[in-house]
Amino acid sequence: MTAIMPTRVLILGGGGREHALAWKLASEPGINEVAVAPGSVAIGTEPRVRVMAGVAPLDGNAVVAAARHVAAELVVIGPEAPLEAGVGDALRAAGFAVFGPNRAAARIETSKSFCHEIAEAAGVRMPRSAAFADLDEAIDFAGVLAAGGDGLVVKADGLAAGKGVSVCDDLEGAVAAIRALARDTAGRGAAAGVFVVIEERLRGPEASVIGLADGRDVVGLPVARDHKRLLDHDEGPNTGGMGAYSPVADVPETGIAGLLDQFHRPIIAELRRRGTPFIGALYAGLILTADGPVLLECNARFGDPEAQVLLPRIATPLGPVLLAAARGTLADSVARMGIQGPVLPTFPGATVGVVIAAAGYPDAPRHGDAISGLDETIAAGHLVFHAGTASDDDGGYVTNGGRIVTVVARGRDLEEAAERADAAASLVRFHGSQRRRDVGRGTGVLQSDRDATDRATAPTPAGARR
């Protein structure tokens, strides 16, 4: 017996990550239709994909109605906001198979102090830290960490749309960040409670390791790395991510099994022990220190832009894996699919994704600039995932967000994929566009992947038109 393929899937969200998920799932055998709510015009141009633009993804009742309307056999929740709003809970209560945790388990992302609490209980190493509800106590602790001279990190306890982390060189910067978070919290009328987590600052490259979990078991994706800063050489302000690549030379794919054992499995076991099983994509944001990998943060979903470079590397259907995770039958189903080991099989080679952002991003992105070159990029064999576009009156696209599109290129190795992605990204033009030119560069090449390239059988890229 083989694993069960879903034939109708509903995806919640409408950005680049959800475009990549829709592209991947809609290409798989047995799929009749992928619905995306609210999706985007560009996502709706993928074959076998329809968008449900009127569905509010944070409204549990509306999402349940949409899932019923399309007779979804599987619902995949893309972003964190519906997880925090309890949309997973509403869907499960209505009897749907859901890939995405309930609100209680999603706290691993939506509360940084909860993540530290779970990691400590699970024996998972995170930076030394403390959480505070009191401004003066927070500043006192920052002073203790700052005295060490290595800087410190100030994090909003809750979701902050990618703006909640300040890496500070000294106490002055940390105090300003703590005061700003205290003001924000008060401004939102939030109830008294923990508003800030202060951590020691660790040094090293970072890596994103995502495990697909069914509440008990986990199967890994390849490792990816994102580029969070706006400008080349990791300068400029933090963003939602300016590009990503996979594989990552300093985390060999043979090492993923050990990382899943070290980070994902203990966290999944602890959440299960507490009666809040984690079902969904458990994203471990790691820092690779001289003393080994340390967990910086967990997300309760696929990373973005990481998903956009990871999904094109997966050489097996994803729908049956996500459905099995949603049903709690992951180990059995993965074995039936003939998948050996704890990581999904990949095509040889590498992928690099370059994000092209709007003028003014990240502070004040400008909308309405006409975009050209998308057709040429796709015709050249690359993938284009849309994050912030709208259609214009002539059937083309205009900017309508901060990050606009991601251009994803494949190569026999990272070097080739990076060169192709850079060249492909230069085809996409709009007034004031911003992008990095160093995504995936200077990071080494996996020799084993270079050797394996003759066997490459990557799928034909689809991608949205224009």
Identify which of residues 199 and 306 has a Cβ nearer to ligand GLY in the complex. 306
Considering the complex, state which of residue 227 and residue 466 has its C-beta at the smaller distance from ligand GLY. 227
> Of 139 and 309, which has the nearer Cβ to ligand GLY?
309
Least spacing, CB of residue 307 vs ligand GLY, in Å: 8
* 105 or 324: CB nearest ligand GLY: 105
| Nearest distance, CB of residue 249 and ligand GLY, angstroms | 19
Q: Which residues bind ligand GLY (CB under 6 A)?
A: 226, 241, 299, 303-304, 306
Instruction: Tell me the closest approach of the beta carbon of residue 297 to ligand GLY, in angstroms.
Output: 8
Q: How far is the CB of 230 from ligand GLY (least distance, A)?
A: 14
Candidates 6, 3, 10, 5; CA nearest to 90 is 10
- Show the beta-strand stretches assigned E in 136-291: 152-156, 165-168, 196-200, 206-214, 218-220, 225-226, 229-231, 235-238, 243-246, 279-289
Question: Is the Cβ–Cβ distance between 365 and 432 less than 8 Å?
Answer: no
Q: Give the nearest distance from C-beta 224 to ligand GLY in angstroms.
A: 9
Q: How many CB atoms lie within 10 A of CB 139?
A: 18
Q: Which residue is nearest to ligand GLY (CB)?
A: 303
Dihedral over Cα of 44, 49, 52, 58: its sign = negative
How far apart are CB 69 and ligand GLY at their closest, in Å? 29
For ligand GLY, the closer of residues 165 and 418 by Cβ is 165
> Which uninterrupted H or E stretch holds 273?
helix 265-273
DSSP line for 389-457: EEE-TTS-EEE-SSEEEEEEEEESSHHHHHHHHHHHHTT-B-TT-B--S-TTTTS---HHHHHTGGG--
Nearer to ligand GLY, 306 or 449 (CB): 306
Measured in whole angstroms, the distance separating CA 77 from the mean position of its chain's CA atoms is: 12
